[in-house]
Amino acid sequence: MSEELYIDKNSSREEKYKSLVPQIQALISGEPDLIANMANISAALKEVFAFWWVGFYLVKNNELVLGPFQGPVACTRIALGKGVCGSSWKEAKTIIVPDVDQFPGHIACSSASRSEIVLPLIINNEVIAVLDVDSEHLNHFDSIDELYLNNILNLLTNNE
Ligand code: SME
C-alpha cells in the first residue's frame, strides 16, 4: 500500500469518508501496533478534512492520557467523567457537541475549538481510548461523522 491518500477534494464529506475508510483499512492492515495505527488515522483525518484537532486519548491507570494527534498542543490528562472526552469514556458512548460553550465542564484545550465529536474505542467491552475531533466551526459534526468515524474505529478493533 502506498502511503498516500487519494481523495477527490470536490466531493461531499460523506463521499470523502467512503473513499477514505478502505484506504485507512489498507494503511493499517497487518500492522498490529495500536499507536502507529492511531497516528496514521489522526494524520489521514486531518489531511482529508482539515479538522482543527484530531487525536486519541488512551485509558491509562484510570485516566485518559494524550495519544497520537494532529493539531495544536493539547491537555495531557483527563479524569473519568470530565469534559467531553471523560464523559464519552464514562458513558461508553459517542458524544456530539454542536457548541462547546453549551457543554457543562467542556475542557477548552484550545479557545478556537467551537464544536466537537468524541467516540469511545471499545475492545472486549471496555473503553480503551477515545477519538476526539474538534472544529473551529459551530455545529460541524453530525450522524455522518459518527457513522464513518465509528467505521474507522472498528478497523482498529478488528486489526488486533
Ligand atoms: N475538549 C475536550 C478536551 C480535549 S481537547 O479538545 C483536544 C474535552 O472537553 O474533553
CA 4/CA 60 separation, integer angstroms: 32
Cα of 157 vs centre of ligand 1, distance in Å, is 23
53 Cβ inside 6 Å of ligand 1:
yes
CA 42/CA 122 separation, integer angstroms: 18
Domain extent for 56: 13-158
For residue 89, what is the domain's CATH number? 3.30.450.40
3-class SS of residue 54: strand
What is the Cα gyration radius of the chain?
15
User: The pTM is what?
Assistant: 0.96
User: Could you report the per-residue pLDDT of 88-138, keeping only the tens digit for each?
Assistant: 999 999 999 999 999 999 999 888 999 999 999 999 999 999 999 999 999
Residue 114 belongs to some domain of the structure: yes
pLDDT on residue 159: 72
3-class SS of residue 5: coil
Residue 1 belongs to some domain of the structure: no
User: Could you report the per-residue pLDDT of 57-66, keeping only the tens digit for each?
Assistant: 999 999 999 9
Residue 4 belongs to some domain of the structure: no
Cα of 108 vs centre of ligand 1, distance in Å, is 6
| Closest C-alpha to 117, from 136, 148, 142 | 142
Residue 6 belongs to some domain of the structure: no
Residue 121 belongs to some domain of the structure: yes
pLDDT on residue 54: 98
Q: How many domains does the chain have?
A: 1
**Which cell numbers hold the place of 23?**
484506504
pLDDT on residue 56: 98
Q: With pLDDT > 90 as the criterion, what percentage of the chain qualifies?
A: 91
